[in-house]
């Protein structure tokens, strides 16, 4: 008797999840469609500034995809990743330009502070201590002037 009840319960659970999955597939297809439409809208040049205001080029890919998904909740993961890839180069170029402007204005003596004869880590440490920066900012500053200093 217990075996029959277990079998009936198993069949009921199976039927519940199979009908639920059928509904989920339709919902998922609709969500993908909405996501693709939103992606096509955001990838246009007219919306590029809005997307660039959401991302942070100093952070990694995963962080930026998460920021895009948090801001645009209609996007599914692979559309958010594709949107990041579409604006990534421009975001990185803007960040590099900001670093160069920062060096030109605030760190005019940076080339005299670093030592071209020591390695990257030593120069990052020098920059970090001299200007009281965190490791990421010091690394960006060093990478932006490394080629000029090494010549």
**Helices within 43-119 (DSSP H only):** 48-54, 61-71, 77-106, 110-113
Q: What are phi and psi of 116, to 5 degrees?
A: -70, -15
Query: What was the pLDDT predicted at 70?
Result: 93
Q: What are phi and psi of 51, to 5 degrees?
A: -65, -40
- DSSP at 81: H
Other beta carbons within 10 angstroms of residue 45's beta carbon come to 6
Distance of CA 23 to the CA centre of its chain: 32
Over the stretch 2-34, which tens digit does the pLDDT of each residue have? 888 888 888 888 877 766 655 577 788 888 888
- Please report, for residues 32, 47, 68, 70, 115, the alpha-carbon distance to residue 76 in angstroms, rounded to integers and kept in the order given: 7, 18, 10, 11, 47
Query: What was the pLDDT predicted at 88?
Result: 92
Confidence of residue 125 (pLDDT cuts 50, 70, 90): very high
Query: What was the pLDDT predicted at 20?
Result: 61
Confidence of residue 64 (pLDDT cuts 50, 70, 90): very high
Kindly state the percentage of the chain with pLDDT values over 70: 95
User: How long a stretch of residues is the chain?
Assistant: 151
């Amino acid at each position: 008797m217990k075996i029959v009840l277990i079998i009936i319960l198993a069949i009921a659970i199976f039927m519940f999840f199979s009908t639920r999955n059928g509904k989920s597939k339709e919902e998922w297809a609709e969500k993908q469609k909405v996501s693709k439409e939103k992606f096509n809208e955001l990838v246009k040049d007219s919306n590029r500034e809005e997307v660039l205001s959401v991302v942070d080029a100093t952070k990694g890919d995963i962080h930026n995809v998460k920021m895009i998904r948090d801001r645009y909740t209609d996007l599914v993961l692979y559309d958010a990743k594709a949107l990041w890839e579409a604006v990534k180069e421009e975001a990185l170029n803007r960040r590099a330009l900001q670093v160069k402007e920062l060096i030109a204005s605030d760190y005019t003596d940076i080339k005299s502070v670093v030592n071209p004869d020591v390695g990257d880590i030593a120069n990052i440490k020098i920059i970090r201590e001299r200007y009281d920066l965190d490791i990421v900012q010091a690394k960006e500053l060093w990478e932006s002037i490394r080629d000029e200093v090494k010549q």
